[in-house]
């Protein structure tokens, strides 16, 4: 690793920031370390001093880590971005890693993965590589699998089945749906039975989840 690495640490929690700063200075000899408590402070520092790597907390006041990554990638394209999630367990929120990478992050590490994983990530980013911690890799793979399942599910539905699912999720009655589609109430019930078989929901909540997953409701 470059002994004169210029690193910017962005975290709004002063205790965590000081702890990580001390860790980096101990583990990376000769590091040039700067700190910021927000994305806005980070932008100001980057305007005056180039950085090799920005290690940034995902959840920040003002511009969050996703927004900040997109801006840094646009204005300072040579700077590498390592996203750091503050999740205390090994399960990341759905889609978090995917959104970070799309925004321009070069790596993603959960604090649950440990400090050494952060050092490995910085070393990889410095070499021009993408780095995902085990926790981040697991979530990204799950997201990709969910996306493929969603595509398959949506293709498997007819137009009327999609409409019935959407309206059921919105709370419409069989009678209302039948009137809107110009079909009988029994036909609506048949559509629901087909949907249950195709999507595997057995409750109102699972029906809502299926509709959200397919983008039929927000």
Indicate whether 181 and 110 sit together in one domain: no
Pick the range with the lowest mean pLDDT from 7-21, 102-116, 135-149: 135-149
pLDDT higher than threshold 90 for residue 146: no
Which CATH number does the domain housing residue 179 bear? Answer: 1.10.10.10
Helical ranges in the chain per DSSP H: 14-27, 39-48, 65-75, 96-103, 115-126, 134-156, 159-169, 174-181, 185-199, 204-213
Residue 158 has a pLDDT of 87
| Domain contains 1 | no
The total number of structural domains in the chain stands at 2
Pairwise pLDDT comparison (85 vs 105), residue with the higher score: 105
Q: Which residues contact 179 (CB under 8 A, 6 or more apart)?
A: none
User: How many angstroms separate the CA atoms of 120 and 77, rounded?
Assistant: 21
| Domain contains 192 | yes
Domain boundary among 106, 141, 176: 141
The continuous run of DSSP H or E covering 55 comes out as: strand 53-57
Residue 150 has a pLDDT of 59
Share of residues in the chain with pLDDT > 70 (%): 92
Residue 106, CA atoms < 13 Å, CB-side half-sphere: 24
Indicate whether 89 and 120 sit together in one domain: yes
User: How many angstroms separate the CA atoms of 53 and 101, rounded?
Assistant: 15
Residue 54 has a pLDDT of 98
Mean pLDDT for 190-213 is 85
Mean pLDDT for 162-186 is 94
Indicate whether 87 and 161 sit together in one domain: no
């Amino acid at each position: 690793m470059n002994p004169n690495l210029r690193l910017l640490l962005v975290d709004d929690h002063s205790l965590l920031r000081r702890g990580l700063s001390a860790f980096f200075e101990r583990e990376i000899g000769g590091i040039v370390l700067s700190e910021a408590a927000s994305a806005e402070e980070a932008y100001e520092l980057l305007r005056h001093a180039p950085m090799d790597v920005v290690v940034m907390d995902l959840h920040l006041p003002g511009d969050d880590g996703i927004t900040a990554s997109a801006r840094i990638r646009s204005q300072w394209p040579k700077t590498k971005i390592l996203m750091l999630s503050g999740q205390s367990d090994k399960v990341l929120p759905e889609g978090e890693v995917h959104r970070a990478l799309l925004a321009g992050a070069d790596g993603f590490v959960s604090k649950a993965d440990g400090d050494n994983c952060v050092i490995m990530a910085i070393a990889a980013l410095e070499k021009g590589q993408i780095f995902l911690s085990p926790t981040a890799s697991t979530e990204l793979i799950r997201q990709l699998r969910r996306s493929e399942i969603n595509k398959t599910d949506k293709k498997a539905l007819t137009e009327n089945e999609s409409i019935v699912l959407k309206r059921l999720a919105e709370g419409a009655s069989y009678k209302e749906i039948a009137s809107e589609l110009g079909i009988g109430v029994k036909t609506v019930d048949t559509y629901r039975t087909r949907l249950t078989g195709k999507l595997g929901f057995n409750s109102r909540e699972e029906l809502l989840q299926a509709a959200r997953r397919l983008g039929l409701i927000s």
